[in-house]
Amino acid sequence: MSTIPHDAIVGGLPHDEHAHHPKGIMRWITTTNHKDIGTMYLWFSFTMFLIGGMMALTIRSELFHPGLQIVDPEFFNSMTTLHGLIMIFGALMPGAVGFANWLIPMQIGAPDMAFARMNNWSFWLLPPAAIMLLLSLFVPGGAASGGWTMYPPLTVQSGMGMDLTIFAVHIMGASSIMGSINIITTILNLRAPGMTLMKLPLFCWTWLITAYLLIAVMPVLAGAVTMLLTDRHFGTSFFNAAGGGDPVLFQHVFWFFGHPEVYIIILPAFGIISEIIPVFSRKPLFGYASMVYAVAAIAILSFLVWAHHMFTTGLPAASILFYMYATMLIAVPTGVKVFNWLATMWKGSISLEAPMLFALGFLFLFTTGGFTGLILAIQPIDIQFQDTYYVVAHFHYVMVAGTLFAFFGGVYYWLPKWTGHMYDEKIADWHFWGSFIFFNVAFFPMHFLGLAGMPRRVPDYAQQFTDWNQVSTIGAFGFGLSQLLLLWAVLKCIRGGAPAPAKPWEGAMTLEWTLPSPPPYHSFETPPVVK
């Protein structure tokens, strides 16, 4: 049961509001309040999304015409590298943590996160790391340019920008581990009386499993980049073939982190979609228990498929077969989830407010990205598509149309709760349609370019790829401009608008909707009892 009838909750409504906290900038620097920290995470994520987006537009501008015209190839490579790192570690992961901070305590009836001070520290590690990453553009030799995967031997040889990147990854990893410890402890120890694990809202379930994943893989990434650092500066040869090391080992270790990372990013998005679809279909979520088991299965299987990123490195035939089939197997629990979302909507009384539009956009486009993933799982095909734009199209359908659309839907869904005002539905609808149309204009042609053999991470291309590249660049600018509508909608909602009731969506059944909108600074000081 993910939904809890509100008449089954006893007590727990907030006390009189005594919000004793510093004002001005000190409020944000010293805050230990989960709502403040959630807000900072979300703004940080959006800022990094815009910066990473500018880098994407630089890449797309260069690719508007064949030949070199705007940036030199080294800078182009730095842009592709930083775009990937910033979007993954700066925008998507902090965005998901922002939702977790705002919602998990309120959804489980807790007053705050378990380790409130560590929560503050987790956030404040991120801005210095991001600044370090961006400043690496200005050091001698420029920023890291070997791709977000940081493969040696190229990264062992590159300049000081790589050191800053490694340090930034360390810091962001530490922040993620601290955030995960906090989330697991909060969910396990601070649930309201009566809220058993199988009554948790699905968003909390997806985050619980995501946090376990983060604790498993972030130390592995930290270990890999530490070894890279010692190879660069302390004379070791972990990955240096000349000294007896093995460069391919780095790829194994990196993707042992990197593939679960995809699920770390998408699982919270699944949680958000699982909250939105039942509410706007006015039906309980179909197959709650199977959704939980599917998330667990996806998480565990995600550790058994990393080498599908390495089909071209010369794996033994038995390994190739194992990784092919294991990768295809992930489609089963993912299919269960898609089926359950569709079954939830089946014969429901659906209304198409912005959160539901984004959820439907997510369903359609994420499934497309999933299918191209299945195609890439087939090794003989992958050999052809490796490092082409087909791969770029695939992972943007998963990361952007999957995770980002879910985040957009989540923002509109909870914005009335966060701000106390209803958002402007018209702007939100424009935002959806602009994002949906231009996303496809930008990324669908990349399938054709990849099928025709255009390689990724190269600033020049053969003449015959020009048309689709131009379409893609126009789409990318349209998609980027559409995001200004999100900023407009959010700022307008913060500044005013129709007052939001405690429960603006009639089908909403989780605990946060029992609190007033906006919720008091300290919510659930007395835990509610869930019957």
Partner 1 sequence: MADPARLKAANRRTGLMLFAIALLFFVGIIASRFIDNPLVSTGVVGGAVLLYLIVAIGRHLRP
3-state secondary structure of 285: coil
CA atoms within 13 A on the CB side of 222: 14
- Annotated catalytic residue 176: yes
| Residue of 3, 274, 281, 510 with catalytic role | 274
| Residue of 112, 231, 353, 512 with catalytic role | 112
Report the alpha-carbon distance of residue 523 to residue 519 in Å, rounded.
Answer: 7
| Residue of 283, 308, 394, 396 with catalytic role | 308
Residue 260 vs 519, nearer CB to partner 1: 260
Q: Are 123 and 175 in contact (CB under 8 A)?
A: yes
- Annotated catalytic residue 334: yes
Report the alpha-carbon distance of residue 328 to residue 298 in Å, rounded.
Answer: 11
- Annotated catalytic residue 148: yes
Residue 200 vs 489, nearer CB to partner 1: 200
| Residue of 34, 60, 259, 421 with catalytic role | 259
Report the alpha-carbon distance of residue 276 to residue 278 in Å, rounded.
Answer: 6
| Residue of 34, 35, 83, 503 with catalytic role | 83
Q: Residue 526 carries which DSSP code?
A: S
Residue 66 vs 194, nearer CB to partner 1: 194
Residue 252 vs 492, nearer CB to partner 1: 252
Q: Can you say how many angstroms the Cα of residue 20 is from the centroid of all Cα atoms in its chain?
A: 33
- Annotated catalytic residue 421: no
- Annotated catalytic residue 163: no
- Annotated catalytic residue 466: no
Q: Tokens representing 30?
A: 């010293």
We find the least distance from the C-beta atom of residue 181 to partner 1, in angstroms, to be 5
We find the least distance from the C-beta atom of residue 516 to partner 1, in angstroms, to be 22
β 529-530/9-10 pair status: antiparallel
| Residue of 175, 344, 510, 517 with catalytic role | 175
Residue 51 vs 183, nearer CB to partner 1: 183
Kindly tell me the sign of the dihedral angle through the C-alpha atoms of 509, 514, 518, 519: negative
Report the alpha-carbon distance of residue 167 to residue 139 in Å, rounded.
Answer: 14
- If you search the block for the tokens 């050191």, which residue do you land on? 163
Q: Are 14 and 526 in contact (CB under 8 A)?
A: no
We find the least distance from the C-beta atom of residue 437 to partner 1, in angstroms, to be 39
Residue ranges that bind partner 1, judged by CB under 8 A: 114-115, 177, 180-182, 184-185, 188-190, 192-193, 197-198, 208-209, 212-213, 215-220, 222-224, 226-227, 238, 249, 252-253, 256, 289, 292-293, 296, 299-300, 303-304, 527
Residue 192 vs 500, nearer CB to partner 1: 192
| Residue of 309, 396, 417, 503 with catalytic role | 309
We find the least distance from the C-beta atom of residue 144 to partner 1, in angstroms, to be 21
Residue 61 vs 236, nearer CB to partner 1: 236
- Annotated catalytic residue 237: no
- Annotated catalytic residue 112: yes
CA atoms within 13 A on the CB side of 295: 27
We find the least distance from the C-beta atom of residue 187 to partner 1, in angstroms, to be 9
- Annotated catalytic residue 261: yes
We find the least distance from the C-beta atom of residue 176 to partner 1, in angstroms, to be 10
Report the alpha-carbon distance of residue 406 to residue 98 in Å, rounded.
Answer: 13
DSSP state string for 411-431: HHHHHHHHHSB---HHHHHHH
- Annotated catalytic residue 263: yes
CB atoms within 10 A of CB 241: 12
We find the least distance from the C-beta atom of residue 469 to partner 1, in angstroms, to be 40
Catalytic residue positions? 83, 112, 148, 175-176, 259, 261, 263, 274, 308-309, 334, 337, 456
